[in-house]
Structure 1
């Protein structure tokens, strides 16, 4: 089995030597035919120079450099579109995803599974607020989307060529990989692992705002339920408004017309104005996604690509996805 690894990199100059050491120790014991595809996602440090040096010493460690920072979703797609293995693994460059786990994952893939996903046993090191937000996010997400996205399942996974080709066939611009992995289906196995410390130190690059935006992407990428929810909220608000108007009318007929209440008027305007803005925001989010989809821009642009041996051409499906 030819094994390919896809590793997105963004400013990983300090972690690459340790990662390379681990990969060289693990991969030869798993298979004699492997390649590693590093994707430099517009790094501003010396990551690209390190990748050039690595490829010069061992052509099995390939790289492609994107023209700018397109984000991890695009970097993963770029790597998948250039990976040539019968099985393709995705893992991070900071060594929180242990390469040693690939041995067990390949054994499961050889048993007939098309996806083998690594699941975090714990969230040690994450702030308390982030843990609570993550649990809440997955609960709400799975109530709203059309596919199941379990908590703890990330991008660290091993895919068969059939699963990779299925992902590459999905041409949508707004990509939410966790949902896409679940959407393609196929038989899936799960292995548990403990998250290691982030190599090179430092905290996560995922700020609360980025996590919130990522959550919104997950919700609106796989269903139209927020639009339905907006309709329901609008209907309930309308019923409440008619009910309140009827109560005011009856009160005026029975008790006379009191002095108009300033607080009631202001609260009503603020509440219904806020609901209108919320509904418009939901509609605008979907409209914006349609706008981006109609542009049909490429997901990424490649600035530099390591040479590919002629003896092992890139699959046709991957070439079409890259274009």
Structure 2
């Protein structure tokens, strides 16, 4: 039988883990005659009792496994670690807070059996999210869509089923500065959309703050496109042309007509405007250089403390 891995990154989700397992297990029971499953939890440096909850489940169900990372690396790295250790012919990535409804799993598997390699969930409704957060999210996707060199799917996250060929392709990309949503599109393969309604968190508070969302937005744009650099070049060229033209006008005007020096406010405005653009462009370049600096170190992407199968595996 084909094997399917339920991959779940977790960070301080002790209240959600038992309920997540129960609800997912109830759904996959009807599929046990056709598939075998494994639960793979990635402990991303949790400071509560999330890992202890997983260990309790492991004592009751041998399908439960976990990877304990050495510290908090963030969800992007945690997903990579999960793909490194997942053994399934397909991997379903789900959050443990039950915002991703388990009842969508059979639909994903059905489309996978129809020949699709990447079956992704698209949110049509976001229960429990405020108006402002929804608007910011929509604006982010529009901006990313304009700046990205790869197609951007709005309201599509990490809730998806990936065929083994997709998983193997993603794990070959060992970037430390990862933006997995962009990698899903970059690797290609046949994709299928399934709509779902995102639930409210079952328990606890969201780990995402405005700072995290801004960081994700910057990473998404910088990691997925070099259009900001092109924009800097073209804008700089236009401003330089305007400045050079104004210089020629001033010189010729003074040479032939002997005009007194005028336009002090205009000069100040132009200096401040050009200086502001220079700082902006330097900041954009700095973001790219910072990512290059981290990548060229060629450090391992993560370290693990323990893999619950007690089998050795080289940490990448």
TM-score band, normalised by shorter chain: over 0.9
From 291, 294, 305, the equivalent of 1:292 is 294
Structure 1: gaps of 5 or more residues = none
Distance in 1, Cα, partners of 2:71 & 2:240: 48
From 129, 138, 142, the equivalent of 2:141 is 138
Q: Does 1:274 align with 2:271?
A: no
Q: Does 1:71 align with 2:78?
A: no
**In structure 2, the residue corresponding to 1:97 is in which secondary structure?**
coil
* Matching of residues 43-192 of structure 1 within 5 Å: 43-192=46-195
Q: CA deviation at 1:227?
A: 1.3
Deviation string, structure 1 residues 134-156 (Cα, Å, up to 9, x no partner): 22222221222221111011100
From 213, 224, 227, the equivalent of 2:226 is 224
Q: CA deviation at 1:288?
A: 1.3
TM-score by length of structure 2 reads 0.92
C-alpha contact 1:41 1:69 (8 A) present in aligned 2: yes
The number of residue pairs the alignment matches comes to 312
Distance in 2, Cα, partners of 1:220 & 1:258: 44
C-alpha contact 2:126 2:199 (8 A) present in aligned 1: no
Q: CA deviation at 1:209?
A: 2.3
Deviation string, structure 1 residues 58-111 (Cα, Å, up to 9, x no partner): 121111111110000011111111110111100000000011211111010001
Distance in 2, Cα, partners of 1:61 & 1:71: 22
Distance in 2, Cα, partners of 1:297 & 1:163: 24
Which structure has more RCO (C-alpha within 8 Å, separation ≥ 6)? 1
Distance in 2, Cα, partners of 1:209 & 1:236: 33
Q: CA deviation at 1:259?
A: 5.5
Q: Does 1:6 align with 2:7?
A: yes
Deviation string, structure 1 residues 270-321 (Cα, Å, up to 9, x no partner): 211111111111211111111111111122111122125x8xxx9xxxx56x
**In structure 1, the residue corresponding to 2:126 is in which secondary structure?**
coil
Deviation string, structure 1 residues 12-44 (Cα, Å, up to 9, x no partner): 011112112112212221235110000110011
- Does 178-187 or 140-149 show the bigger shift? 140-149
C-alpha contact 2:174 2:301 (8 A) present in aligned 1: no
C-alpha contact 1:122 1:195 (8 A) present in aligned 2: yes
- Does 247-256 or 36-45 show the bigger shift? 247-256
Distance in 2, Cα, partners of 1:139 & 1:10: 29
Distance in 1, Cα, partners of 2:262 & 2:222: 46
C-alpha contact 1:55 1:306 (8 A) present in aligned 2: no
Q: Does 1:36 align with 2:39?
A: yes
Structure 2: gaps of 5 or more residues = none
For 1:305, the equivalent position in structure 2 comes to: 307
* Matching of residues 196-215 of structure 1 within 5 Å: 196-202=199-205, 204-215=206-217
